[in-house]
Structures are given as C-alpha cells and as structure tokens.
Amino acid sequence: MNHRPLSIAVVLALCASGLVSAAPVPLNLPRPDGQPGNPKKPVKVYILAGQSNMVGMGGVSGAQPPRNVFYSADPAIIPGTYQLSRPDDLKSLDTVSVFRHGFYGTEFDVPVTGSYRIRGGEVVQLEAGKRYPVPDPKKPFWLEQVNMPGKGDLVGVTKNDKKFTYLIDEAGNWTARNDVTYTDPRLFPERPALPLSPLANNGKTFGPELGFGSVVGTFHDEQVLLIKTAIGNRSLNWDFRPPSSGHTDKPGADKYEGYEYRAMVQGVRDTLMKYEAQGYEIAGFGWFQGHKDAGSTKEEYEKHLVNLINDLRKDLNAPKMKAVVATVG
C-alpha cells in the first residue's frame, strides 16, 4: 500500500458520486470521528463486485520476509534469484550471493548488521563491515539473515511506515467507521453489517472496500453502506454472465452460467430490505476485473461488461447507478 492507490480510491469514489469538481476529500484522510451518518437522509449504497482482487489480497499482519543467503561456499547453491515456495523452505532462496565455490578461507565479511543463522544451526549477532572466522573452513557454509522485518502488511505500513494514519487511533488500535457499514452477503450471508475497519472483512485480509469506504465516508454526510459480492476465480463471461449476454450450450450452463450474477442481485436485494424504513440510494457500482477473463477478447469482455452494468441497473431498479471499473496491471 502507498499513497498512489489511495489517490486512485479518491478518484473512484468521487467519480461514483459524480462530484469530482467539488471534492472535499483530502489525500491524507482524517481519523473517523466515531459519529454515524445522518439518520434523516437515505443511506448511500455502493456495490462492490469482481474477482479475487475485490475479495481482498491485502494482509492485516503476518508478512514474512523472503529467505536469503548473503554468502555461500556450498557448491550445491548456484548464484541467482530463486522462486520462494514457502517461508520456511531453506532451499528456496530469494537472493543468493555466492562468495566463491570451493572457498576454504578462514574469515568472511558481514554485509548487513543483524541476526544470522549459520548453516541452519546457531543464531549469532554479526555487525556489518567486520570479519568473523568461518566455523569450519573445510566445510561449505552459508549465512542466512533471520531478523528481517516483514513488509507489505497493514501493520507495517501504518505503525512502522506511518502511512494511512487514519486507520489507527492515538493508542495504536485499528479505527472503525460508524458512518460506513460493510457487509458481504456472498461469503458471509448470516453475518450482520459491521462498521468499516481493517478487521471488518474477515479479520485477516482486506480488499478495496477499506480505502474506498474511508473515502466515501469522509465525502458523504449520509450513512454509507458497502455491499461486497465477490468470491474469487469467477469470470464475467461465465460466472457473472449477465442475462442480456444470453446463454451458451456449455455443460452445466443451466446451473452455473450466470450464477454469481444471480447471487449478487439476490444478496443486494436481501440486504437492502433492512434499510427500507430509512430509505436508500444505490449511488454506485464498482467492478474489479481479474485474470479469470484473460482468455476473453476485449470485444467480448466489453459486451459482457456493458450488459452487466445495464442489467444491474434494471434488476436493482437503479437506472442512474454510476459504475467504475478497475483493471489488473
């Protein structure tokens, strides 16, 4: 996460609201004030759908650094960049800097100060720029730094890098927005809507709803409702295939073709029934394209996407619903 995706979220949110020219949303968002939205106004509803990108690939915590080897005299290790298969696999090395094959010296230089594991055994503290004796100069050895912090999770970027400070309060706890509620009837049909927070999705990962909801919550005076319907590994030309795109004769079409579209519409309808007393407005629809449609031509994808938006407007009785599409890459 960085400030560029946040600025994109601002643009998407304001485009969905149709008020880009009058945007009172700062790039650095303020912390939530704990107050709900105006209960006398209809709820602003945003529907978020798509593939695994919409489900959420961001980790709240637990990021682990790749394994690495700084020096090695092990002839079994070849210099180069290796694919990491799992964090505890010492044979999968992200970066290998081989000193010399057949090295039988008695000392080595330390490249970076830190904690090192020598040949998978004892962990020692070594200081950069100093020379240390080789444990056994007649045997292959390697140094693996083991105290590198993980990078890329939300804990790291907020509490360590001091970014997106609106997501944590002064005590370092996650903030929650009482003016934005979040629900996912596709994955959690029995769970009630929750105040938007980094933990609202499933407690471990989060998706675009976190940044998007923070922006529209700051923008709107009304209460905001985010309805996410995404399960991942689902395509637009099959799973989300809208009614106007017609049916194919593929095996299983009667049951599975368009199933995610129907589930999305039903999930939204069931959710909105709970807000009939206050009233609501379907203010926008966000679609996040994914790799599952990589086999579709751009013409075919465009046709299904246009049909998706138009069919949703019809089926949800929201003819003026605005739509924003995010793409991969």
Can you read off the two tokens belonging to residue 82?
């290796």
pLDDT digits (tens, 9 = 90+) for 214-235: 999 999 999 999 999 999 899 9
Residue 118: its pLDDT value, please?
81
Helix (H) or strand (E) holding 7: helix 3-17
Q: According to the model, what pLDDT value does residue 314 have? A: 99
Residue 99 has a pLDDT of 54
Residue whose C-alpha is closest to residue 98's, from 72, 77, 67 = 72
Report the pLDDT value the prediction gives residue 95, as an integer from 0 to 100.
Answer: 62
Per-residue pLDDT at 86: 52
Per-residue model confidence as pLDDT tens digits over 279-308: 999 999 999 998 888 889 999 999 999 999
β pairing state of 224-230 and 177-183? parallel
> So where are the chain's domains?
3-61+152-326, 64-149
Q: What is the pTM of this model?
A: 0.79
CA atoms in the 13 A half-sphere facing the CB of 324: 21
Q: Which residues contact 59 (CB under 8 A, 6 or more apart)?
A: 152, 153, 154, 204, 205
Listed as ranges, residues in the chain with pLDDT below 50 are: 1-8, 10-12, 14-17, 19-23, 87, 90, 100-104
**Domain 3-61+152-326 CATH assignment equals 1.25.40:** no
